[in-house]
Structure 1
Amino acid sequence: MSSVAFNPEQGKPLHPFVTFTLPLVAVFGALLGFIGGQAAGLGPLEGAIFGAVIAAVLAFVLTRFLPRKTGRWGAIAVCVAMGFFAGGFAGAVGGLILGALLGWAVYWLDTGDYRRGVPPYATTGQVLWHNSFKFICGAIFFFLIAPIITIIPLSFNAQNFFTFTPEMLALDPAGFSLKHYQDFFTNDAWLQPLKNSLIIAPFATFISVSLGTLAAIGLSQSHVPGRRAIMAVLISPMIVPLIISATGMFFFYSQMGLFMENYLGISKSLSGYIKVILAHAALGVPFVIITVTATLVSFDQSLTRAAANMGANPVTTFFKVQMPLILPGVISGGLFAFITSFDEVVVVLFVGAAAQKTLPWQMFTGLREQISPTILAVATILVIISIALLTVVELLRRRSERLRGMSPG
């Protein structure tokens, strides 16, 4: 008779749990306790020890007596109760997050889910590297996204501060307000720059898409001489430091503005808009060229030759044959060009005037001259818009892969 202890209900041996799952869960719990202990007023060492003990006890109870779904909810309930006891409503929210993480980690280790994605014959080192690589990517993602996430709750601050107030940290409803969003949508100092941005960005995007698409199609032809050098010149606005590009655009477009005003009779305000639109179009062209060129790599040129053999002229061939297939790349480049124009501030400071003040320019002014918390509300809106546009770009990328036969779904 084996002396290994078994759970009478599930028949799981304790030895693998004690030697593998338990130590790792305790380390993970110590890390969570270190983080959560700071918020609860515990010292770093006390928080780590407390977290390790709680995690070890929970791991034993969950894996021995509860199925996955019930156990994960149980871990959340326990952590929420402890968080509420230690820090009220804010502590309960923190306990909710920590409990969800802890419950996931326990079953992820105990059920062997950590081996998913690796072949059965993978060594311990290969499995370790596979999971370490995923955690490293997650840490990098968190490092990049954390500053953006911080802005969003700050935009609902009831006070005119750029920091979390005690009421916000305690999740007191009195500490939150929509007044900064109300100021943005009712204050002409913000509405006029928003209007300028919504005028400049679409026109700049249209010009970028038109020129960038034509350039990408032309440079995709193997008979074009010096196409690598031409490509390098066209995408140089992405490579050259923006302050250098802005300085060069200032001298170039200032002379263009004088010509339009003195010889063409264009008003100073209109010439200012034209200069900013052209400058932003120059910044957006490289994004269009790169995305359309990537789409044209897998484009079957025999389709255009077949259309020409059947009597279609070049214009008809482009709009009826080529454009539908490269349209996802064109739209993706246009979205990138729109984001570039809508968020750009350096070039418009050099090229534009007060009449062409855009939303980023107003935000920059608000940081430099008057610390206005409305900036946080505007930043949150811009983040949401950027996420929506990038989501569209990703959907278009997947559609393009399906059209090119690179993805089964």
Structure 2
Amino acid sequence: MATYTSTSAAGAPGKGGVFNRLYTGTGAFDIVGRRKRWYWTFAVLVVICIASMVFRGFNLGIEFVGGTQIQFPVAGVSGEPSSDRINQVINGAIGQPPKSVQHAGSGASETVVIRTEALTGAEQFKVRDALFNEFHPRGQDGRSTPNVISESAVSSSWGNEITSQALIALAVFMVLVSLFLALYFERSMAIAAVVALVHDLVVTAGVYSLVGFEVSPGTVIGLLTILGFSLYDTVVVFDKVKENSRGLLGLTRRTYAETANLALNQTLMRSINTSLIAVLPVGGLLVVGVGVLGVGTLADLALVQMVGMIAGALSSIFLATPILVDLKMRDRRYQQQAARVMTRRKRLAQARDAGGDEDELDVTDDEALGTELRRERAITAAAGVPARAPSARRNHTSRAERTGRAARPTGKRRR
């Protein structure tokens, strides 16, 4: 674990520009200290998303509600088959506009896909006749006949089956993730990670409800794919928190909140770079899906991934670690350790004001580490497991502090 000065550990602003502080990761960004601000921000966002899902609902595709799908080739049509023009033609034929008009494919294979409510046989005939009279589409043989326009009924059972399977997969994923995090890290980290994960799902679904994006089977599949990305970023941060907080209860240089904030700063640039690298190809996929191939399954998949990745990056930085800190600080041991840190800093401040020797007041961590190592050796010896050797940093610190104490005059009394 890297060491830093007590000023940086206490949360004082670091020197240099924003990018310099991002790359050095010296704890200059007090993200954990402002956690109440992030809680309110995310709470308002989640409430808005839930309210939209409850009162506004979703724009479900015909795979979920059933309907009729009509399509015809674009090559050789008369005029431009734009969405507005098609809406006018169908509205004039049956008195109601279609649910959606999409262009799939490109070049000679481009087709128009129209999705409407479930139509009767007579209504389908009227729509086909109106579209043919308006656009005169041609088949692959170059002939223009009404049979070029095809209709098919779509049942809602397929979409409902996909939804039920997705919910089962989501439940299994949540259980396995919680068990893994609880075993690999600890219960507090598992709870914090799952809360951030639920936030990502709610916000992504809420954005779809607010904006009115059509929910298709591709959307459901894409929603499941963002879970791994969100969890990966959170695990990276938590792994650094675990590394920095090893043996923290016996130390007096920084509190758990400051240790977690330092770990967050040390991984902040990595989180930003990972998010950008992940979002850029998804953005390219979205551009290709919409601009080249037309709105379809590819675009639906890319769109939900784009929204989910952004939400996941924000929650892993501003939500998961602050929640972890609040859960850990409910432990009396960490409260007592934080009180000892504050007492040490107060004594150092008094020494500076009095012009005294700060070194005489600098409570080292040598005794606490020695006690911790002796206790660990006793436990491992009783269990028949070889004790771990002290880390290089602890040996280095202990030698330095022993040297410093040896150089002090023996007549001085330590406070």
TM-score range relative to shorter protein: under 0.3
Per residue, is there more helix in 1 or in 2? 1
* Higher relative contact order (Cα pairs below 8 Å, separated by 6+ residues): 2
Per residue, is there more strand in 1 or in 2? 2
Larger Rg: 2
